[in-house]
Chains A and B, each alone.
Chain A
């Protein structure tokens, strides 16, 4: 009979192993990395809205991003640190998702002959493929508006011009692609945020209602913010 905990105090690596080994631990990894990525998205979305202030303000903002942390850090260092952290989060997020997806597939080797689709929500049903679409979009988006390789202008000194050229009315298909990708991201966040809160210990009925409502509201607000820029350019409100 064991009245006390059998486990002794683990080392730091022991704790990390303990925390990530189980399926619940992998969900924790997904939740924490997901929240870091969402915080970045909020900052990114708010920064984007500078486009409505004017070309100078937007370009100045883009330049300022490179000077965060100076003179303590050399120019652009902060940006690269942030990029490294975000990339690490993306990798950890995808790693945990892949392990869990493979595990889920193996957990049901014989499929049902008759199966209803998942009832919960469209968002919950499309997390995995939605995530893949978001990843492909992020790759395209970086090549488009960060490095400029896929941008019609690609002038890294004047990002405002890149944005305006990118979403010009005759390039409506680019805008459409962005809209679809952002909506996919919105669905991913709607279930992802709720799921992250639950994984991190949300545990009451009333709290569940609030968490679901907050996740939906947050996803809609973030989508609206992100969509406002390409749509405004395509509709000629920003030029």
Chain B
């Protein structure tokens, strides 16, 4: 298949970027989106042009590195799929595809389609952990966890931190990400001692990073490659409400 790509090119954070049009020919429908970009980059390299910079690592949909805004949709048209797992069979011969980086003040563009997502790391550093004593490992089932809680915690824990929720959010909010972490840890007994501080600190770090506020528009869940449910935001809100309205023991 032959395609027209309009790709955001930006040499560095200081310079302004713009959309540049490229034509790619003989694209196999079985290629992944990133393989199609690899093909374009090989050609650009041979022609002595600067290849398009984009983030990628495992290409198995589990690392959270890749992430492109494809025709205005985070990770492209297929639901619950990362960009690396998106195949060109989702497109038609002759299509024009717009490829842009995640757009958020908290995710500044490093180059072309690569953005700096260390704002997510700062949110995690603020409270996305449990304090555990070192020493010998505890018995696997020493702390019982109800099955329903374990399932819900695991579902939230599948978040790979790719940033698609922020990219898709009309407010540029990171709530789905932060709420997934707060839910994941807050549902488990190991997460209880720091539960109150966690929600306050992580929300503060999120606000500090310059993300927008959540308005429950619901754009994030459909964009999420892991399908993190919207209700995790309700869990964060409940923890936040408790932490701000009830005095500590």
Contact = CB atoms under 8 A, between A and B. Distances in A.
Q: Do A and B come from one complex?
A: yes
Contacts of B237: 24, 27-28, 198-201, 203
A25 interface: yes
A107 interface: yes
Given A5-B196, A120-B219, A24 B214 contact: yes
Contacts of A28: 237, 240-241, 244
A17 B36 CA distance: 51
A24 B242 CA distance: 12
Interface in B159-173: 170-173
Chain B at the A interface: mostly helix, strand, loop or mixed?
Answer: mixed
A3 B18 CA distance: 50
Looking at chain B, what size class is its interface with the partner chain?
Answer: 35 or more
A108 B172 contact: yes
Interface in B98-120: 98, 100, 103-106, 109
Interface in B167-212: 170-173, 193-194, 196-197, 200, 203-204, 206-207, 210-212
A120 to B, nearest CB: 4
Contacts of A204: 231, 234
A113 B100 contact: yes
A63 B60 CA distance: 71
B44 interface: no
A15 interface: yes
Interface in A1-51: 1-10, 15, 18-19, 22-28
Contacts of B105: 106-109
B241 A200 contact: yes
A19 B244 contact: yes
A172 B191 CA distance: 61
Contact of A198 (B109, B211, B213, B234): B234
A104 B216 CA distance: 13
Given A112-B69, A112-B100, A15 B244 contact: yes
Interface residues of A, number: 54
A70 B207 CA distance: 48
Contacts of A111: 103
A8 B248 contact: yes
A2 B131 contact: yes
B135 to A, nearest CB: 13
Contact of A1 (B131, B172, B214, B234): B131
A212 to B, nearest CB: 10
Contacts, number: 165
A203 B231 contact: yes
Interface string B1-42: 000001010000000000100000000000000000000000
Contacts of A8: 248
Nearest to A206: B231
Given A103-B212, A201-B241, A203-B235, A116 B172 contact: no
B222 interface: yes
Contacts of A191: 216
Contact of B245 (A19, A23, A24, A116): A19
A104 B215 CA distance: 10
A100 B196 contact: no
In the A-B complex, list the 8 residue pairs whose CB atoms are closest, starting with the nearest.
Answer: A23-B213, A107-B172, A201-B238, A203-B234, A107-B212, A104-B171, A114-B98, A104-B212
Interface of B: 6, 8, 19, 69, 71-73, 98, 100, 103-106, 109, 131, 170-173, 193-194, 196-197, 200, 203-204, 206-207, 210-219, 222, 229-238, 240-241, 243-245, 247-249
16 contacts: A5-B197, A15-B245, A22-B200, A23-B207, A23-B214, A24-B240, A100-B171, A104-B173, A107-B172, A108-B104, A116-B73, A119-B218, A198-B230, A200-B241, A203-B232, A203-B238
Given A8-B248, A118-B219, 17 more contacts: A1-B131, A2-B194, A9-B247, A18-B244, A27-B214, A100-B171, A100-B212, A100-B215, A103-B171, A103-B213, A104-B172, A112-B72, A119-B222, A124-B218, A203-B232, A203-B235, A207-B231
